[in-house]
Amino acid sequence: MERLEKVNNSLTEMAEKKHPFLARLLDHTFSTPGKNIRPAITLLASNFYPHDERNTEKMATGVELLHIASLIHDDTVDGAMLRRGKMTISSLWGPKTAVLAGDYIFAASATLVCDTGNIRVIRRFAETIMELSSGELQEMAETYNPEQSMQGYLGRIYNKTASLFTTAAESGAILSGAPEACSQSMRSYGHNLGMAFQIVDDILDFDGTEEEIGKPIGSDLANGVVTLPTLIAMQRRSCCDAVKRVLANPDDEDLMKEVVSLIQDDSVLEESYEFASRYCEKALSDLSGLPPCPSRDSLEELVSHVKVRRN
Amino acid sequence: MERLEKVNNSLTEMAEKKHPFLARLLDHTFSTPGKNIRPAITLLASNFYPHDERNTEKMATGVELLHIASLIHDDTVDGAMLRRGKMTISSLWGPKTAVLAGDYIFAASATLVCDTGNIRVIRRFAETIMELSSGELQEMAETYNPEQSMQGYLGRIYNKTASLFTTAAESGAILSGAPEACSQSMRSYGHNLGMAFQIVDDILDFDGTEEEIGKPIGSDLANGVVTLPTLIAMQRRSCCDAVKRVLANPDDEDLMKEVVSLIQDDSVLEESYEFASRYCEKALSDLSGLPPCPSRDSLEELVSHVKVRRN
């Protein structure tokens, strides 16, 4: 999409403007474009009503920048060495620089969103940053805790992932001057797509191969993070005890292997995929009131992409 | 000041609303009020025109929250154990939690500022976050670099300190509906006060006692950070060579002691204080067009407070 290219171009230009050290950091960060799913949602959601496209492009750039900033802090917090096959800021320049570079990019994203001049969208954007960080904080606070509810899990993944999808979609509609009902449908679409996206991500941690997901199988559980497949497996009594044992003894590698294979059970994974599918169905139904057009087709394709994605 | 108390109360209330883990973090953070100089500036700067005070109180709270968030990230980056005599978030809950808690509080501050509904102030606030983090990044990028200019130093301390003072003062005036000339005077006042504040801070690193400043004398230089007294000392040729030698050999403790005592020379410190005084004079002259009133008196007192402060 041509407009998505403009978003990537503004990221590159941003890197060129700043003082030398910051320019090198930003250049490193922006030189490998990601999958751009979030800014694509903003742009597609804005395509149903004619409007000043510069505003929605700024918003889309802000959305991608916010995502990048949160990845930089996540990588710093996790001590991750690689991201998209490249060294992370934290591994190249150290965690101190990474924390501050993340702060800078958070603020740069907010500045871009301010330039849209739409206060509703700006406030929603600031709330999204609160939701992202509180989602990560909740996840950390609940590691190795065997008493977790489905509701707690869903609230957490809304905060850490679906929140930004929701804002990406809703803000595209709002900034295009869409009627309130359309903005609400887009908001709901973003929410449902984001939930499905994170659930599939959590399933792939058990169902992918190491090569596909770029980390060892079952690494969420090994790090004490309880996700949907584990919660579903825990509904079977025998498995529940095993999960609780491994959360209390995460260094017992044999037990960990055993528990991971219990979770990899076909019926557990199938039930997990069904859970994601229900969110996908809801996302498609959110689009049903929109006029058929290439943008609607693309939004539908994003849903199928989430359902089948393998990384 | 009664209105400043309202600011501290809103911080406490904010801590109570969130989920248990975040509430504990926020409670710890907000339970020891700081010197509150930044929110005091916002409230005082707003007092010259009658207006909806809830907006300027929100702004003042946002300004203090932003300051707190940046301290949390600074302490994390520096590995600091104590702040205002209390354990830091980073030392109590670890750097991971501290990074995310800082992000959360950054975003919470922006949300409050959004509630003022004034887009000019909101944008300025987002730019300030960029300036704060780029000031810290510049400082890190330039540690142990012997080739530093006065201009580089002044640009850096504007970003890391005076920027938020500027925004605190200007936004108070803007939100009170002050005429543009008054907002500009306040902006200039905040800028000059903030520059003086940081310069005095940098002087006290050489001129205070360990007890007064809560860290070893000369610790900026020991960490490779070149500040005003060092720059002034370097204008004397013999001292310049010694500073360059110690920046190249920061572990040579005898040399470090020798260089610190060269910088503690009366004429160097006097010249440094004169530098700060010039900013203080400018800050006072920025206030000269305002009607005499208790708020103007208090803004003048803040200037004298910066000049004589010893911690």
Q: Which residue of A has its CA nearest to B25?
A: A137
Tell me what pLDDT residue B34 has.
67
* Chain A hits for B107, Cβ within 8 Å: 106, 126-130, 133
Q: In a 3-state reduction of DSSP, which class is residue B275?
A: helix
Q: Say how many Å lie between the first and final Cα of chain A, rounded.
A: 22
Q: Would you call A19 and B97 a contact, using CB atoms and an 8 Å cutoff?
A: no
* Tokens 């001590």 belong to residue: A79
Cβ within 8 Å of A, B 85-124 = 95-97, 99-104, 106-108, 110-111, 114-115, 117, 119, 122-123
* Domain CATH number, residue B62: 1.10.600.10
ipTM of the predicted structure? 0.90
On whether the CB atoms of residues A76 and A90 are closer than 8 A, the answer is: yes
pLDDT band at residue A211, thresholds of 50, 70 and 90? confident
Which tens digit of pLDDT belongs to each residue from A268-307? Answer: 999 999 999 999 999 999 999 999 999 999 999 999 998 8
Which DSSP symbol is given to B32? S
* Chain B hits for A134, Cβ within 8 Å: 18-19, 22, 104
On whether the CB atoms of residues B179 and B289 are closer than 8 A, the answer is: no
- Which among B122, B128, B141 has the least Cβ separation from residue A21? B141
Tell me what pLDDT residue A288 has.
96
A38-48 mean pLDDT: 96
Q: Interior CA angle at B84 toward A97 and B110, to 5°?
A: 55
pLDDT band at residue A34, thresholds of 50, 70 and 90? low
A11-35 mean pLDDT: 72
Which tens digit of pLDDT belongs to each residue from B78-126? Answer: 888 888 778 888 888 889 999 999 999 999 999 999 999 999 999 999 9
pLDDT over 70, % of chain A? 95
Nearest to A46 by CA among A33, A55, A36, A35: A55
Residue B165 has pLDDT above 60, yes or no: yes
Q: Which residue of A has its CA nearest to B136?
A: A100
Tell me what pLDDT residue B15 has.
64
* Residue B164 Cα, gap to closest chain A Cα (Å): 14
Of residues A185 and A20, more confidently modeled? A185
* Chain A hits for B25, Cβ within 8 Å: 137
Most B-contacting residue of A68, A74, A103, A132 (CB-CB within 10 A), to test interface: A103
Tell me what pLDDT residue A311 has.
46
Q: Would you call B110 and A126 a contact, using CB atoms and an 8 Å cutoff?
A: yes
The CA distance from B268 to A101, in Å, is 35
Tell me what pLDDT residue A273 has.
95
The reply to whether A141 touches chain B by the CB within 8 Å rule is yes
* Chain A hits for B100, Cβ within 8 Å: 73, 77, 133, 136-137, 140
The CA distance from A119 to A121, in Å, is 5
The reply to whether B84 touches chain A by the CB within 8 Å rule is no
Q: Would you call B103 and A133 a contact, using CB atoms and an 8 Å cutoff?
A: yes
Chain Cα centroid distance, residue A196 = 10
- Please state the domain count of chain B: 1
Which tens digit of pLDDT belongs to each residue from A145-191? Answer: 999 999 999 999 999 999 999 999 999 999 999 999 999 999 999 99
Query: In sequence order, which ranges of B115-179 are alpha helices (DSSP H)?
Result: 119-141, 150-157, 163-175
Q: Which domain holds residue B246?
A: 2-308
Which helix (DSSP H) or strand (DSSP E) does residue B86 occupy?
Answer: strand B86-87
Give the pair of three-digit tokens for residue B112: 């409050």
Tell me what pLDDT residue B117 has.
94
Q: How many CA atoms within 13 Å lie on the side-chain side of A34? A: 20
CA dihedral A90, A13, A4, A52 (to 10 degrees): 130
Helix B53-78 with B20-30: angle, nearest 10 deg: 90
